[in-house]
């Protein structure tokens, strides 16, 4: 009996080791692909597919008001909230399960196919290269003193009005985009990729895709304004909850990397909670504190002034070098998490 249990335990550990190795390989390949290629322009991105599904559902529960020519909900607020919950649960769970089943099916045919499939999709969840490319595309135009072209280029990446922005306001917009998306588009997907990689076969890409689905839902329907107030309520709350922990871990990591963690934490404690979002304020504020710049202020959206809370101290002006430093910090944080995960997993595997 003891011999049988020992053999069974050994088989289980060997199985665990093999699959941890596969998950680690997928993670390393995905991180490398994102760094080297980013998101190729002509490739179908998983977020596009998720966005299409969300749009189809939204179109089915909205109608065009003939008087105002604006979209309005078809149902009562309570029904729209219920439908919004169904939408969020279906999209998040459906996306993750679909990817996991596909990876498992491919692994039965040819393991290399499953590894390639998972690596490519996981790379699409990491937007580090895309974020850098977007920032550098705006900065490149600014360097030749073409404000009009810089405003036009910036409008591809931000929701605020860009027509009348000064050079300083353009730089602030770029830095705010980089710092806000550092968590939503880089470290939060990585957090769920690491978590999933520890839990089950091809779990990294499964949980990362599920998180991207939640993030896409929030960006498409998670608004307080009509007509999404009720439909997007559940999606907005879900994204807030899922992003909360990776956001705080990112802030902690960056604060330690800054070599002045107490100062950074004090600034974040003072300013971050002024932002109505439980996460984006912290994301922007930690970079503002480290870079010794101030973010926030007046922005216009479709001609309407919106005053965002001021984050950080304006000790130094926002410059291209500050933006480059923010991108570098995000990259270091990403690599540090990946390295720490691989080291811990390697030690765990070596024990068996």
Cα dist from 171 to 15, 128, 143, whole Å: 51, 19, 12
Q: Report pLDDT digits (tens) over 33-86.
A: 999 988 887 788 999 999 999 999 999 999 988 887 789 999 999 999 999 999
The count of other CB atoms within 10 Å of the CB of residue 93 is 12
DSSP letter string over 51-92?
HHHHHHHHHHSEEE-TTT-SEEESS-HHHHHHHHHHHHHHHH
Over residues 235-264, the pLDDT tens digits come to 999 999 999 999 999 999 999 999 999 999
What percent of the chain is predicted at pLDDT more than 70?
A: 93
Provide the pLDDT for residue 351. Answer: 67
Which residue in 118, 78, 137 sits closest to 201, CA to CA? 118
Helices and strands of the chain, counted as H and E runs: 13, 4
Quote the CA–CA distance of 189 and 152 in Å, as a whole number: 29
Total residues found in the chain within this entry: 352
Q: What is the DSSP string of 94-110?
A: HHHHHHHHHHHHHHHH-
The whole-number pLDDT of residue 352 equals 59
Per-residue pLDDT tens for 288-346?
999 999 999 999 998 999 999 999 999 999 999 999 999 999 999 999 999 999 998 88
Q: Quick one: which of 218, 278, 209, 215 has its CA closest to 248? A: 278
Q: What are the tens digits of pLDDT across the range 278-302?
A: 999 999 999 999 999 999 999 999 8
Q: In the predicted model, is pLDDT for residue 2 greater than 60?
A: no
| 200-239: pLDDT as tens digits | 999 999 999 999 999 999 999 999 888 999 999 999 999 9
């Amino acid at each position: 009996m003891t011999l049988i249990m020992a053999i069974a335990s050994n088989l289980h550990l060997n199985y665990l080791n093999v699959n941890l190795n596969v998950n680690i390989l997928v993670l390393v390949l995905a991180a490398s692909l994102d760094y080297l290629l980013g998101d190729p322009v002509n490739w179908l991105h998983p977020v596009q597919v998720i966005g299409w599904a969300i749009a189809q559902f939204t179109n089915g529960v909205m109608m065009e008001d003939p008087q105002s020519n604006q979209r309005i909900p078809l149902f009562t607020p309570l029904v729209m909230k219920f439908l919004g919950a169904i939408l969020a649960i279906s999209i998040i769970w459906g996306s993750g399960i679909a990817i996991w089943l596909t990876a498992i099916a491919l692994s039965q045919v040819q393991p290399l196919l499953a590894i390639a499939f998972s690596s490519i999709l996981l790379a699409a969840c990491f937007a580090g290269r895309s974020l850098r490319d977007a920032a550098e595309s705006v900065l490149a135009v600014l360097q030749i003193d073409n404000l009009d072209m810089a405003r036009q280029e910036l409008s591809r990446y931000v929701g605020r009005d860009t027509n009348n922005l000064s050079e300083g306001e353009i730089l602030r917009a770029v830095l705010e985009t980089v710092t806000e998306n550092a968590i939503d588009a880089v470290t939060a997907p990585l957090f769920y990729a690491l978590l999933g990689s520890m839990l089950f076969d091809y779990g990294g890409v499964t949980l990362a895709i599920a998180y991207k689905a939640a993030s896409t839902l929030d960006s498409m329907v998670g608004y307080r304004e009509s007509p999404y107030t009720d439909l997007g309520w559940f999606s907005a709350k879900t994204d807030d909850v899922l992003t909360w922990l990776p956001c705080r871990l990112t802030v902690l990591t960056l604060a330690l990397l800054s070599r002045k963690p107490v100062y950074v934490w004090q600034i974040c404690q003072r300013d971050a909670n002024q932002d109505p979002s439980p996460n984006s304020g912290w994301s922007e504020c930690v970079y503002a504190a480290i870079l010794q710049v101030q973010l926030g202020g007046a922005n216009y959206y479709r001609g309407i002034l919106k005053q965002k809370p001021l984050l950080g101290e304006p000790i130094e002006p926002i410059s291209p070098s500050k933006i480059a430093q923010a991108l570098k910090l995000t990259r270091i944080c990403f690599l540090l998490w990946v390295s720490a995960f691989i080291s811990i997993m390697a030690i765990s595997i070596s024990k068996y």
